[in-house]
Amino acid sequence: MEFQQISMSHPAVKDVLAIQNNTAPNRFGLFVAEGLWAAKVALDTGLRIDTFYWCQELAHSDEAGKRAHELADRARRTFQVSEKTMARMAERGNPDGIVATVEMPHWHPDAIEFGDSALVLVTDGIEIPGNLGTLIRTLDACKADLLILTNRRTRMSHPKVLRASQGMSVRVPHIEFEDTGEAISWLQKRHFTVYLADTDESVNYRRLDYAGRTALVVGSERYGITKPWYQHSFRRVGVPMLGYADSLNVSVSASLLLYEARAHQDGWSAS
């Protein structure tokens, strides 16, 4: 493969750094895929490859060459970079000579369908990218149907979301509502039972049956769930706090709730 050689000062390199450092608007919703693992995720999911950057000197396997050819065939544009430039662009220590910018997938709310039983997580105002990524990884692990974001504080294309989710942020279906009321209406029209994760005046999470279509709402790390969710008489579900601390990390508590709901829906619970 012979591509145009570019240096550190090239605008295409600066585009990657802006995404990696989250320092500029990302209007095309691109994320940075680096190394064989990320390249395979992008290729297997059929995502649009915007730009492919190749450094043959850092490719230490036949697999890297194979993936490089596949990325080059599908990319809008391709460049060759030096080892020094590749090291500057990549977050990980050994990117296998492969870096690409890839478009995040998009799901439209009206196109999403559910069966009689479904499991949805709503993240309301989650601020820390690592927490959001961990939640997405859990959603994939327990085979949840959808992630809904309200009062979004971090982008799905944030590099820390991608890393913390182990790439599942491009596989787990997700939609976003700018207005919380629209998200609530969307769930109600689809006959979801909505539970708010809250330790105050809550039902023990082991005592609900989660039958049918269930939506679990978790709030931000600092402020919890926003007021609009409390204006609809939704029940509160909580994890008992038996020590001095009054709450769990949001990704930990959501994991407990999601797996409990999945256990009930799939019949794992003892009769």
- Tokens representing 154 are 């971090």
Closest CA relative to residue 18, chosen from 7, 6, 26: 26
Sequence-ordered list of residues with C-beta below 8 angstroms from that of 233, at least 6 positions apart, any chain: none
Which domains are assigned to the chain?
4-103 (3.30.1330.30), 109-266 (3.40.1280.10)
pLDDT band at 113 (very low <50, low <70, confident <90, very high): very high
Strand bridging mode 30-34 / 98-103: antiparallel
Q: What is the pLDDT of residues 4-33, one digit of tens each?
A: 999 999 999 999 999 888 787 788 889 999
Residue pLDDT, tens place only, 215-266? 999 998 788 899 999 999 999 999 888 888 877 788 999 999 999 999 999 9
On the question of pLDDT at 269 being above 70, the answer is no
Nearest CA to 81 among 14, 136, 26? 14
Global pTM reads 0.87
156 pLDDT band (50/70/90 cuts)? confident
Q: 163 CB contacts (<8 Å, ≥6 apart)? A: 91, 133
Query: Which residues make Cβ contacts (< 8 Å) with residue 98, sequence separation at least 6?
Result: 33, 34, 35, 36, 38, 39, 52, 53, 54, 59, 64, 67, 68, 71
| Number of residues that this document lists for the chain | 271
